[in-house]
Every structure is written in C-alpha cells, then in structure tokens.
C-alpha cells in the first residue's frame, strides 16, 4: 500500500517542520488556498496517512496530534504512547 501524492506532500511537510502545524497551515501549504470552516480534508488525509504508515510499520506512530495546535511528525513506539 503506497502513499498518494497528497499524503506524501503532507508527510514531507510535517517531517520538515520543527513542531506542530495547524490544520489551516497544512491546508494552505498543500491546497494553496484558505480552508473553509467546515472543511475536514486535512483530518481525512492525516487519518489515511496514519493508516498507511501503521500498515507499513506496525508498532510505531509517526504523526502526533497536539491538542489546540495541530499535527506534528514525531515517531514514537506505540507501546510508549500515553493511554
């Protein structure tokens, strides 16, 4: 199972950024325009990306959610995640 071009773009963006990016920042950089209030595209793509990465590398979680901030790439072993 491979990544779509948009999933790859999001993963690359998160991996190259130090810290979390908000959904709005991700949307602006990937889609190239402002996100509407009800648009959940980033969340859908991150969910698919997480599923693909989990399938490729079980036991690791690569994309973390920072509540109130957004998403960041910070690989952790699934066993080390807080419950």
Note the pLDDT tens digit of each residue in 8-65.
Answer: 999 999 999 999 999 999 999 999 888 887 788 999 999 999 999 999 999 999 999 9
For the chain, give the longest Cα–Cα distance. 38
pTM of the model: 0.86
Q: Give the domain extent around 45.
A: 5-80
CA-wise closest residue to 42 among 31, 57, 54: 31
3-state secondary structure of 41: helix
Name the domain count of the chain: 1
The better pLDDT of the pair 82, 64 is held by: 64
Rounded (5°) CA angle 55-77-48? 35
For residue 82, the model assigns a pLDDT of: 61
CA distance 25 to 28: 5
CATH number of the domain where residue 21 is located: 1.10.10.10
For residue 83, the model assigns a pLDDT of: 53
For residue 33, the model assigns a pLDDT of: 86
> What is the chain's length?
83
**Phi, psi dihedral angles at 76 (to 5 degrees):** -140, 150
């Amino acid at each position: 199972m491979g990544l779509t071009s948009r999933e790859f773009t999001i993963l690359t963006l998160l991996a190259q950024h130090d810290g979390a990016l908000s959904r709005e920042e991700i949307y602006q950089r990937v889609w190239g325009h402002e996100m509407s209030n009800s648009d959940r595209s980033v969340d859908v793509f991150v969910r698919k990306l997480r599923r693909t990465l989990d399938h490729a590398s079980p036991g690791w979680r690569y994309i973390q959610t920072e509540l109130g901030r957004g998403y960041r790439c910070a690989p952790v072993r699934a066993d080390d995640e807080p419950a």
